[in-house]
């Protein structure tokens, strides 16, 4: 008999809705697994324990009264430590917010609870989302369930590791330049970044506001689609949220990939890839052809400047967003005597970690007098050129594919002192982020050492339906998502 922790979110919800399993039993099962496995992984920074069990009891009570409980009835869901929940600590992986308690709950979490989900606990992350390895956290690093001496990716590494280790079937993350997709690839799970504005950012602690998206880590494409249906939609609390509703679609409606033209941007499918990544992707491309897709070569000429463009824009926006952490209104206050300036300097020097300080300094420089047009202005122009590249590519293709990460999971500590090497881990994911496109990573094979490799799908704006349907076809005809990292 299949253990409860091995079932998908959709399967678990059906068991609860039918009365075969109680929501409390589900919550207890996953909490016990967290207690047993997470001390070594450190995917969670906190779990809600008795509070989660009480929420599960409320779902069971609603079912007993014959009330509707939603499509995620009783499903335990974890969330990244940068989405706030009323009255509970949200630290964004930073000492700066170690004791911060929000007066409200993020819209994405509200909608999950309205759909019947039981919120299990907060997952670890790179501080304020700034990192690709989940090593830049005030809570310490998270380990990859497939290889404990390797990173899980970042910055949503805690969420990816939690799903990969079956500590929860779904975990919310955030994706600014690949922070859902890259850890999904390194941990062998599905990671969905919706179109910019598809899911409300209200209650997401800001990093780079023109790029930040709320996304999800899941075991299956179908579960990612289920999460999106529960969370998508406009929100008065987020003026950038999309006004149009998510189109109705069945993820399993497409039997194969016949009739689809899938583009292979050469800039994302060769230069800079590790040999073992290229070998696995060659097999994945062959499988796409077998499923009936027409693969066509295409080009995104301005991808060559995507990484510097992304980091200029993201660092500049971060410098603006994180200026609020000054030791005055809320957050960490450093010990200093004398002037307000000395107190602010002490607070920011001690409250922020080294990587955050590096990015804030660079972002402040990019926005400083005499340099804003030269750096931030040109980066904005380069971003528009890249968007035009995608528009041209989608004129001849329905979808684009590439590897998600140029390298598999790498050893803990191996890149932490080399920022440029770390930033290049995002080379394949930042283009879709800059263009605001929906993108998804799913497992497509393994290296000789058994480390997962991810296939990235990119779709035109607001075409999550096509993205999820195509990825579901690939998943249904392969078994890359089935192996388990931990018993």
**Active site residues per annotation:** 80, 155, 179
User: What H or E segment, with its residue span, contains residue 42?
Assistant: none
Answer left, alpha or beta for residue 287, where phi above 0 means left and psi between -120 and 50 means alpha. alpha
Asked whether the CA dihedral 106, 108, 111, 117 is positive or negative, the reply is: negative
Give CB contacts under 8 A, 24+ apart, made by 222-226: 222/8, 222/10, 222/251, 222/252, 222/472, 223/8, 223/9, 223/10, 223/169, 223/170, 223/190, 224/190, 224/191, 224/192, 224/440, 224/468, 225/251, 225/464, 225/468, 225/472, 226/9, 226/10, 226/71, 226/72
Helices (H), ranges, 115-267:
157-164, 181-187, 221-231
Q: At what angle do helices 50-64 and 9-18 cross, to 10 degrees?
A: 50
d(CA 216, CA 108) in angstroms, rounded, equals 11
What is the rounded CA–CA span in Å between residue 394 and residue 85?
Answer: 39
Angle (deg, nearest 10), helices 221-231 and 9-18:
70
Q: How far apart are CA 32 and CA 167, in angstroms?
A: 9
Beta carbons within 8 Å of 236's beta carbon, 6+ residues apart = none
How many angstroms separate the Cα of 283 from the Cα of each of 189, 276, 280, 445, 453?
18, 11, 5, 8, 12
CA distance 406 to 402: 10
CA-based nearest residue to 246, from 191, 203, 192: 192
- Contact between 128 and 207 under an 8 Å Cβ cutoff? The reply is yes
Q: Give the strand pairing for 190-193 and 439-446.
A: antiparallel
């Amino acid at each position: 008999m299949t253990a409860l922790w091995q079932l998908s979110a959709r399967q678990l919800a059906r068991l609860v809705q039918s009365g075969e399993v109680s929501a409390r039993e589900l919550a207890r099962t996953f909490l016990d697994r967290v207690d047993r496995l997470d001390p070594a992984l450190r995917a969670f920074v906190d779990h809600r324990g008795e509070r989660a069990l009480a929420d599960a009891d409320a779902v069971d009570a609603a079912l007993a009264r014959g009330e509707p409980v939603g499509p995620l009835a009783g499903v335990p869901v974890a969330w990244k430590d940068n989405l706030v929940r009323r009255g509970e600590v949200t630290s964004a992986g930073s000492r700066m917010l170690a004791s911060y308690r929000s007066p409200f709950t993020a819209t994405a979490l509200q909608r999950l609870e309205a759909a019947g989900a039981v919120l299990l606990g907060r997952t670890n992350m790179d501080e304020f989302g700034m990192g690709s390895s989940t090593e830049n956290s005030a809570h310490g690093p998270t380990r990859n369930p497939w290889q404990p001496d390797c990173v899980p990716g970042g910055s949503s590494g805690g969420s990816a590791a939690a799903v990969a280790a079956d500590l929860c079937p779904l975990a919310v993350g955030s994706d600014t330049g690949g922070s859902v997709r890259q850890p999904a690839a390194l941990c062998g799970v599905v990671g969905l970044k919706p179109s910019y504005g598809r899911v409300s950012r209200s209650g997401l602690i800001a990093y780079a506001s023109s790029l930040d998206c709320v996304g999800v880590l899941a075991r299956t494409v179908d579960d990612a689609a289920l999460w999106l249906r529960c969370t998508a939609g406009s929100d008065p609390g987020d003026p950038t949220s999309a006004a149009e509703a998510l189109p109705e679609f069945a993820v399993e409606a497409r039997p194969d990939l016949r009739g689809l033209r899938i583009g292979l941007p050469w800039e994302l499918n060769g230069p800079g890839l590790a040999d073992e990544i290229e070998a696995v992707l060659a097999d994945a491309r062959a499988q796409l052809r077998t499923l009936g897709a027409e693969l066509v070569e295409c080009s995104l000429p301005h991808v060559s400047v995507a990484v510097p463009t992304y980091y200029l824009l993201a660092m500049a926006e971060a410098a603006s967003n994180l200026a609020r952490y000054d030791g005055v209104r809320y957050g960490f206050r450093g010990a200093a005597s004398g002037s307000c300036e000395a107190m602010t300097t002490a607070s920011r020097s001690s409250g922020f970690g080294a990587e955050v300080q590096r990015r804030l300094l660079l972002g402040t420089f990019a926005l400083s007098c005499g340099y804003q047009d030269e750096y931030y202005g040109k980066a904005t122009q380069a971003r528009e050129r890249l968007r035009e590249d995608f528009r041209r590519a989608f004129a001849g293709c329905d979808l684009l594919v590439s590897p998600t990460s140029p390298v598999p999971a790498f050893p803990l500590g191996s890149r932490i002192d080399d920022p440029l090497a770390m930033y290049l881990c995002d080379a394949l994911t930042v283009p879709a982020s800059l263009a605001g496109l929906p993108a998804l990573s799913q497992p497509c094979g393994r290296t000789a050492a058994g480390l997962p490799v991810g296939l990235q799908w990119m779709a035109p704006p607001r075409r999550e339906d096509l993205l999820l349907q195509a990825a579901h076809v690939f998943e249904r005809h392969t078994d890359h998502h089935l192996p388990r990292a931990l018993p």
